[in-house]
């Protein structure tokens, strides 16, 4: 057994939505370090371009700014990617939104925005990219990685109704997509992150010490923690993992006392 290349992404292509910051950027940097050619997308063009420029010191990184909150936007991103590559080894569906508000005041707009981007977009973007994904899978196992959340598995005190519904749905959608894509030699998995500092998770970013007291591991997640999980699933090491959701949360979901 030669394990030297188990985690290598040399020669692979990856597209990461929401790749300009937070978890998406962590994954992008990790993939670059393992030799992948990385394309990042985000709604804000300036931020996407700046991040790509910063990441270029680690390898091949290209900015493809696009709003993927609609099926038309998903097709637009797929077309932009197609102008650069004919196949896609790894798709990371990471772009997401959150909304928190009291139940009695929770608006329809807060429901639709979150469900559309967090649940509808991963399905329709994957559909738009099915041709290059299947092209890459003729040579080795292709990968689709959906970024879910531990809020799709358990609950916290926040009234984030549309967010928890979207992430729970994404975890189950991952299983259904895995069943369909197995025939195409493509593995579909999900990552359910816990507390990682980001613009979306400002509590972890701004109150890390306080939050860490409630995490069995005693700290919030680092860029290396997230990159390592994504590299495992994206590389040869994760070829026999499909339909699963990898929980990366320092023990909050499965190793926390109820006392």
d(CA 143, CA 8): 14
Is residue 163 flagged as an active site residue? yes
Per the listing, tokens 């339909």 go with 243
Assign residue 22 a region (left: φ > 0; alpha: ψ between -120 and 50; beta: otherwise).
left
User: Do β-strands 90-93 and 13-17 pair in parallel, antiparallel, or remain unpaired?
Assistant: parallel
A 10 A CB-CB count for 200 gives: 18
Do residues 220 and 197 make contact, with C-beta atoms less than 8 angstroms apart? yes
Q: Tell me the two tokens of residue 245.
A: 């959701």
Question: Rounded to whole angstroms, what are the CA distances from 213 to 34, 156, 204, 217, 255?
Answer: 33, 15, 12, 9, 14
User: Do β-strands 142-147 and 186-193 pair in parallel, antiparallel, or remain unpaired?
Assistant: parallel
* Catalytic pick among 81, 161, 163, 258: 163
Q: What are phi and psi of 254, to 5 degrees?
A: -115, -5
- Determine the 3-state secondary structure of 245 from DSSP: strand
In this structure, what DSSP letter does residue 250 have?
A: T
A 10 A CB-CB count for 103 gives: 7
Report the catalytic residues.
163
């Amino acid at each position: 057994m030669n394990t030297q290349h188990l985690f290598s992404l040399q020669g692979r292509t990856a597209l990461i939505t929401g790749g300009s910051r937070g978890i998406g950027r962590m994954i992008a940097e990790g993939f670059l370090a393992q030799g992948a050619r990385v394309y990042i997308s985000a709604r804000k063009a300036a931020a996407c371009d700046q991040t790509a420029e910063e990441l270029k010191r680690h390898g091949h990184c290209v900015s493809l700014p696009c709003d993927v909150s609609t099926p038309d936007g998903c097709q637009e991103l797929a077309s932009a990617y197609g102008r650069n590559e004919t196949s896609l080894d790894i798709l990371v569906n990471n772009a997401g939104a959150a909304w928190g508000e009291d139940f009695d005041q929770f608006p329809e707009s807060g429901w639709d925005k979150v469900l559309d981007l967090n649940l509808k977009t991963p399905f329709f973007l994957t559909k738009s990219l099915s041709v290059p994904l299947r092209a890459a899978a003729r040579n080795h196992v292709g990968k689709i990685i959906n970024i879910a959340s531990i809020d799709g598995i358990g609950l916290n005190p926040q009234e984030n109704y549309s967010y928890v519904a979207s992430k729970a749905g994404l975890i189950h959608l991952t299983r259904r997509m895995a069943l369909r894509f197995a025939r195409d030699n493509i593995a579909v998995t999900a990552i359910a992150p816990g507390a990682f500092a980001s613009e979306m998770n400002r509590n972890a970013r701004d109150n890390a010490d306080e939050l860490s007291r409630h995490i069995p591991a005693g700290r919030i997640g680092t860029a290396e923690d997230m990159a390592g999980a994504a590299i495992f699933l994206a590389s040869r090491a994760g070829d026999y993992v499909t339909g699963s959701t990898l929980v990366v949360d320092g023990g909050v979901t499965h190793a926390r006392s109820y006392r």
